[in-house]
């Protein structure tokens, strides 16, 4: 195991990786890991105002500080929007990344009901521009964020990549499913190795303020009610950020390949004759929402005031990930307990906000 980790670090040092959404939650953690490994990172982000830009700028400042240290990789950050195809092309021409990880997207299921155009602009137009740049510059491996939301009306648990995902419940989910289809087309037409990752409820330090853990922690500390949708009858496969980053780093050097066992007569949705793969990334341990809330209460040493509300449009009641395909592909299985993960988040929150 130690030898494989050493080899992984040695390979990372020789790479220049372009990360879109580098000031976002997952993008920041990936950039941090790669910089500490000596890898050069070209970070792209629009720093939009979907949530507090100051949190994004704080993440960037930490990345710049790491980049300035001896033996760490170099960070180059460019503030652009992926809808600006010319600016994006200039980044690829100037810095010549060998691998690209697309973590930029308009996130949020409920916000898609308020501002649908933002999802088409960022998640479709921006995604298409990025694929065009990857094609033009013969990128070695394109990794992109999909979502567990694509499973939509699928009620067969745990969700498997080989199951159908054709009935999304939100525009956000529909754009993510569209990303998978468009990326497969580019893999087929241009031989671009592409890997789509269906993330399951990622949480941890530096997390997004619109996610449940952040909202619940803030409300409990402020003595305000937390909003518990579907009257608490929700289950999620909560996945700790470090497990996501470990998976991403292993995937960087494991490009998608054509599946020699792919049968066009009975096509598997997650593999192909083209170099395209789709994987779930989850903790393989779906937890009821009240268990998650109880863990937050224990970590804070405070009780939550609960406001029970009906199901929100676009939400999925239960998620659970079958990650056997990912484990077989990279030799790693996400495993962090919610108790550990929540404690890490609460410690970060108290420190960052001086609570």
For 96, left (φ over 0), alpha (ψ -120 to 50), or beta? left
- DSSP conformation letters of 139-162: -SEEEEEEEGGGGTT---SSB-TT
Backbone angles phi, psi at 248, to 5 degrees: -60, -45
The pLDDT, as a whole number, for residue 290 is 94
Give the relative orientation of helices 338-352 and 212-221 as an angle to the nearest 10 degrees. Answer: 60
How do the pLDDT tens digits run along the chain, 355 residues long?
A: 444 544 544 455 568 999 999 999 999 999 999 999 999 999 999 999 999 999 999 999 999 999 999 999 999 999 999 999 999 999 999 999 999 999 999 888 778 888 899 999 999 999 999 999 999 999 999 999 999 999 999 989 999 999 989 999 999 999 999 999 999 999 999 999 999 999 999 999 999 999 999 999 999 999 999 999 999 899 999 999 999 999 999 999 999 999 999 999 999 999 999 999 999 999 988 999 999 999 999 999 999 999 999 988 888 899 999 999 999 999 999 999 999 999 999 999 999 999 9
Domains and CATH numbers, the chain: 2-200+241-283+321-336 (3.40.50.720)
pLDDT score at 312 = 87
Residue 241: per-residue pLDDT: 98
- 231 in catalytic set: no
Its pTM stands at: 0.94
Cβ-based neighbours of 7, under 8 Å, separated by 6 or more:
none
CA dist., res. 20 & res. 30, Å (int):
11
Alpha helices (H) in the chain, listed in sequence order: 2-13, 25-36, 53-67, 85-95, 111-114, 116-120, 127-136, 171-190, 212-221, 241-252, 289-300, 324-330, 338-352
Catalytic residue among 50, 172, 240, 349: 172
> In residues, how long is the chain?
355
Both tokens assigned to 217:
């922690």
């Amino acid at each position: 195991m130690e030898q494989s980790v050493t080899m992984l670090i040695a390979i990372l040092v020789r790479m220049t990786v372009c990360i879109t959404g580098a000031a976002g939650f997952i993008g920041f953690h990936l950039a941090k890991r790669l910089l500490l490994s000596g890898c050069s990172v070209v970070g792209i982000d629009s720093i939009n105002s979907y949530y507090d830009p100051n949190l994004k700028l704080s993440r960037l400042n930490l990345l710049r500080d790491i980049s300035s240290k001896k033996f760490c990789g170099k960070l180059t950050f460019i503030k652009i929007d992926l809808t600006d195809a010319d600016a994006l092309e200039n980044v690829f021409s100037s810095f010549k990344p060998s691998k690209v990880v697309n973590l930029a997207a308009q996130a949020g299921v409920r916000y898609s009901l308020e501002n649908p155009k933002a999802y088409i602009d960022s998640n479709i137009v921006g995604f298409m521009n990025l694929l065009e740049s990857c094609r033009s510059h013969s990128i070695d491996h394109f990794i992109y964020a999909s979502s567990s939301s694509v499973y939509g009306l699928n009620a067969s648990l745990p969700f498997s990549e080989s199951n159908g995902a054709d009935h999304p419940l939100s525009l956000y989910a529909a754009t993510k499913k569209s990303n998978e289809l468009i990326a497969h087309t580019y893999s087929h037409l241009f031989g671009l190795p592409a890997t789509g990752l269906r993330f399951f409820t990622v949480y941890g330090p530096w997390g997004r303020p619109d996610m449940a853990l952040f909202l619940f922690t803030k409300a409990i500390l402020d003595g305000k009610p937390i909003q518990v949708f579907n009257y608490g009858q929700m289950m999620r496969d909560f996945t700790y950020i470090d497990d996501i980053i470990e998976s991403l780093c292993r995937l960087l050097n494991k490009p998608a390949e054509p599946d020699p066992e792919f049968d066009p007569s009975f096509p598997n949705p997650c593999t192909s004759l083209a170099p395209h793969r789709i994987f779930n990334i989850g903790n393989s341990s779906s937890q009821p929402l009240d268990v998650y809330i109880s863990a937050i209460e224990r970590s804070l040493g405070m009780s939550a005031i609960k406001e029970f509300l009906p199901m929100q449009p676009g939400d999925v009641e239960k998620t659970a990930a079958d990650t056997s395909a990912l484990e077989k592909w990279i030799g790693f299985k996400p495993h962090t307990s919610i108790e550990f993960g929540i404690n890490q988040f609460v410690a970060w929150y108290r420190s960052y906000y001086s609570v």
